[in-house]
């Protein structure tokens, strides 16, 4: 019997637990009693995080497509084919005709290595990962405002906040160990405003629940700022000492009277005024947001408003306050930090900067590195559909279910001359691949994940991978070797982290011997640095905080006579993303076994739909059949469908409308119709 301390593979909260194993098999999970985030607790996914690991569906051998079928192949053959075919695409169509999709589920070391493989061994900046789909708006918007696109504060700041504004985050379901802290804080008297039109659990504990229309966040937040400025509730000293561009912001929000915003948001003007006064009246106040803010064609503008509201009220650079985007995946923060992004190396060092390119080229032993930023993942799918991108390597992602407009995603992937997928199960995407490489899961390898509060924590191997499966980092290094690039030979992940630290100022003091037991929060510039729980204390990372005025833009697609409902998508508490792990975990799968749509009782009555009945939901892009869940959770006119289910894929319906600056898709708003399934 053995206990292995590691990090939960699901959300970005970063709970640590012990995997309990016996005879080489996982038999359970025990929470870490001392962990500063999870504090001896876990959510239902954490308690079940061992349950999929030995599932018989695990990939155990490389697969290659022969005669239209995926059949077992040797590692040598599979690796050689991947490299030959990608290089061949590059010879025929140019270095940027291939795309590398990295993974927010993989470790920091693996994300670093994949971006190094793309840049140093394949000479392209076409590398990105699913942060494009979740918080690219944050990375852009907060980067512009503060100089750092990460959560400004720490999770334990929830315990110190006087007020918490939760906007576009169903925290108790999606970051349960953060949500439960918010819930506990509200019971202790911390004021709570929830802005989200779903009746989420936190709304039942809120002082104020604002059920504004989907896509109207800019109007709501602008009006709150207008009220604060009009009533003189802003923090003048903070604005003068710490920020720039305030007059431009004030001018931009001035027309947003509560009455005007009421017309756009569907709220009562008085509720907007009440929210503004409440928010400005309590310090420290913390803003917590997630996909409800970011996944819009104006996601960056939403983020800018959150940043501005916090600066306006002096709520940055102090404990219990801040702008706190909750990162979704276990290592989506790390995936970004490691430069699995098309425009930056690790630590957000720009590829366009010749000095930085020179630094990385010298360290990596290559003559030069590509200069122009590569394609974001969403643009790469568009390019594949348009046949300008020809080859793709996907590590641990499942765009067939996770990307907007599934027919478009399928068309893009099928258009490729060559697709390789590295994963732990044969996902819907892997099923389309020419070569499939079997990977070890989180419980079968070493490395680090970085959680949403920038805490870099150790992931540890508890059991052996199944069959011939290998750790992602080992596969990537083998691909580099196959490509004739000798710069990726490492004894293990610890040495990869040493290289990361040597090239990445914010990770300069991160080393495995310093990460026990519960990690370090970056920035951690050197080995004597204790880590940084709260950012922007004396000054913002960029210098002065910048107010960026925005103009309200409606969502790309509005309901009309033919498609009269708004569809918003997301996750349920019991499943994770495309369900590859949770739908193979018995209790989680039993809890939510079928695709469903949330439908308000008024709408259900009008449509003659009963709870549990199959219904057809269609948009301009596709149609699915799911079961009706008749519930007050949603307001009339709005439907919610989780995107976990291949057999009722929400993303068959969603709109591939991208934010112009971050290229994030508008998962949160599209127009649909619904009726009884015939």
Residues in contact with another protein by CB under 8 A are: 1-3, 5, 16, 18, 20, 22, 26-35, 39-44, 46-47, 50-51, 54-56, 172-173, 176-177, 179-181, 183-184, 187, 201, 204-205, 516-518, 573, 586-587, 590-591, 593, 612
Residue 19 or 252: which CB sits closer to another protein? 19
Whole-number Å distance between alpha carbons of 138 and 76: 41
Q: How far is the CB of 414 from another protein (least distance, A)?
A: 31
Residue closest to 503 by CA, chosen among 336, 348, 352, 363: 363
Q: How far is the CB of 3 from another protein (least distance, A)?
A: 6
Residue 30 or 156: which CB sits closer to another protein? 30
Residue 415 or 631: which CB sits closer to another protein? 631
Q: How far is the CB of 6 from another protein (least distance, A)?
A: 11
Residue 435 or 520: which CB sits closer to another protein? 520
Residue 55 or 350: which CB sits closer to another protein? 55
Pairing relationship of beta strands 670-676 and 614-618 according to DSSP bridges: antiparallel
Per-residue burial over 643-665, b if 16 or more Cβ lie within 10 Å, else e, is bbbbebbbbbbbbbbbbebbbbb
Residue 132 near residue 397 (C-beta atoms within 8 A): no
Residue 192 or 264: which CB sits closer to another protein? 192
Q: How far is the CB of 491 from another protein (least distance, A)?
A: 22
Residue 556 near residue 657 (C-beta atoms within 8 A): yes
Q: Is the backbone peptide bond immediately before 256 cis, with ω within 30 degrees of 0?
A: no
Three-class HEC string of 611-678? CCCEEEEECCCCEEEEEEEECCCCCCCEEEEECCCHHHCHHHCCEEEECCCCCCEECCCEEEEEEECC
Return the DSSP state at 603. Answer: H
Q: How far is the CB of 55 from another protein (least distance, A)?
A: 7
The first and second tokens of residue 121, run together, are: 């061994």
Residue closest to 5 by CA, chosen among 39, 41, 36, 29: 29
Residue 16 or 657: which CB sits closer to another protein? 16
Q: How far is the CB of 675 from another protein (least distance, A)?
A: 21
Residue closest to 253 by CA, chosen among 314, 204, 214, 311: 311
Whole-number Å distance between alpha carbons of 526 and 505: 8
Residue 174 near residue 11 (C-beta atoms within 8 A): yes
Q: How far is the CB of 31 from another protein (least distance, A)?
A: 7
Could you please report the per-residue DSSP string of 266-326?
A: -S-HHHHHHHHHHHHHSSSEEEEE-HHHHSSTTHHHHHHHHHHHHHHTT-SSSTT-EEEE-
Residue 5 or 351: which CB sits closer to another protein? 5
Q: How far is the CB of 456 from another protein (least distance, A)?
A: 15
Q: How far is the CB of 631 from another protein (least distance, A)?
A: 11
Whole-number Å distance between alpha carbons of 271 and 470: 55
Residue 437 near residue 82 (C-beta atoms within 8 A): yes
Residue 305 or 628: which CB sits closer to another protein? 628
Residue 26 or 488: which CB sits closer to another protein? 26
Q: How far is the CB of 130 from another protein (least distance, A)?
A: 25
Residue 23 or 68: which CB sits closer to another protein? 23
Q: How far is the CB of 37 from another protein (least distance, A)?
A: 11
Q: How far is the CB of 593 from another protein (least distance, A)?
A: 8
Residue 522 near residue 510 (C-beta atoms within 8 A): yes
Three-class HEC string of 320-380? CCEEEECCCECCHHHHHHCCCCCCEEHHHEECCCHHHHHHHHHHHCCCCCCCCCCCCHHHH
Residue 407 or 593: which CB sits closer to another protein? 593
Residue closest to 420 by CA, chosen among 122, 94, 677: 122
């Amino acid at each position: 019997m053995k206990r292995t301390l590691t990090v939960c593979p699901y959300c970005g909260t970063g709970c640590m637990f012990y995997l309990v194993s016996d005879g080489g098999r996982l038999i359970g999970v025990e929470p870490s009693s001392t962990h500063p985030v999870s504090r001896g607790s876990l959510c239902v996914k954490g308690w079940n995080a061992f349950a999929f690991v030995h599932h018989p569906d695990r990939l155990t051998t490389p697969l290659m497509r022969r005669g239209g079928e995926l059949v077992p192949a040797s590692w040598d053959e599979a690796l050689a084919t991947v490299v030959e075919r990608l290089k061949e695409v590059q010879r025929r169509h140019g270095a940027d005709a291939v795309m590398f999709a990295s993974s927010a589920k993989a470790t920091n070391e693996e994300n670093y290595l994949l971006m190094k493989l793309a840049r140093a061994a394949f000479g392209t900046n076409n590398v990105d990962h699913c942060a494009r789909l979740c918080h690219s708006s944050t990375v852009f918007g907060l980067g512009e405002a503060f100089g750092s696109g990460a959560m400004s504060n720490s999770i334990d700041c929830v315990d110190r906040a006087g007020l918490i504004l939760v906007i576009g985050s169903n925290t108790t379901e999606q970051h349960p160990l953060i949500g439960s802290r918010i819930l506990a804080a509200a019971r202790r008297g911390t004021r709570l405003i929830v802005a989200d039109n779903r009746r989420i659990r936190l709304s039942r504990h809120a002082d104020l629940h604002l059920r504004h229309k989907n896509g109207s966040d800019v109007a709501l937040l602008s009006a709150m700022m207008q009220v604060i400025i009009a009533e003189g509730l802003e923090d003048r000293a903070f604005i003068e000492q710490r920020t720039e561009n305030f007059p431009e912001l004030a001018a931009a929000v001035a027309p947003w009277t509560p009455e005007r915003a009421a017309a756009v948001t569907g709220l009562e003007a008085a509720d907007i005024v009440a929210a503004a006064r409440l928010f400005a009246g309590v310090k420290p106040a913390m803003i917590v947001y997630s996909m409800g803010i970011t996944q819009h064609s104006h996601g960056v503008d939403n983020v800018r408003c959150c940043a501005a509201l916090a600066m306006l009220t002096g709520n940055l650079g102090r404990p219990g306050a801040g702008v706190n985007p909750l990162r979704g995946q276990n290592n989506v923060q790390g995936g970004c930090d490691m430069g699995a992004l098309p425009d930056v190396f690790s630590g957000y060092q720009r590829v366009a900067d010749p000095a930085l390119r020179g630094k990385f080229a010298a360290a990596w032993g290559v003559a030069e590195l590509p200069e122009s930023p590569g394609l974001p993942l969403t643009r790469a799918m568009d390019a594949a559909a348009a046949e300008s991108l020809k080859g793709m390597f996907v590590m641990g992602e499942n765009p067939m279910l996770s990307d907007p407009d599934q027919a478009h995603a399928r068309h893009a992937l099928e258009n490729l001359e060559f697709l390789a997928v590295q994963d732990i199960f044969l996902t819907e995407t892997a099923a389309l691949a020419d070569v499939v490489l079997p990977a070890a899961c989180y419980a079968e390898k070493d490395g680090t994940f970085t959680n949403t509060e920038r805490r870099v924590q150790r992931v540890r191997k508890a059991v052996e991978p199944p069959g011939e499966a290998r750790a992602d980092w080992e596969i990537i290094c083998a691909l580099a070797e196959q490509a004739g690039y000798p710069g990726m030979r490492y004894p293990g992940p610890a040495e990869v982290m040493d290289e990361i630290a040597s090239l990445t100022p914010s990770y300069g003091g991160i080393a495995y011997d310093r990460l026990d037991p519960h990690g370090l929060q970056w920035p951690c510039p050197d080995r004597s640095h204790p880590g940084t729980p709260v950012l922007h204390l004396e000054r913002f990372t960029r210098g002065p905080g910048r107010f960026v005025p925005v103009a309200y833009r409606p969502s790309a697609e509005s309901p009309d006579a033919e498609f009269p409902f708004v569809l918003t998508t997301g996750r349920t508490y019991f499943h994770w993303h495309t369900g590859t792990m949770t739908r193979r975990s018995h209790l989680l799968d039993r809890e939510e076994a079928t695709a469903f749509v949330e439908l308000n009782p008024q709408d259900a009555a009008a449509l003659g739909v009963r709870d549990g009945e199959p219904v057809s939901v269609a948009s301009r892009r596709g149609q699915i059949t799911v079961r009706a869940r008749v519930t007050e959770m949603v307001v009339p006119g709005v439907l919610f469908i989780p995107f976990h289910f291949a057999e009722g894929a929400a993303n068959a319906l969603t709109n591939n409308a991208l934010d112009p600056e971050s290229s994030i898709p508008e998962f949160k708003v599209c127009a649909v119709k619904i009726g009884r399934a015939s």
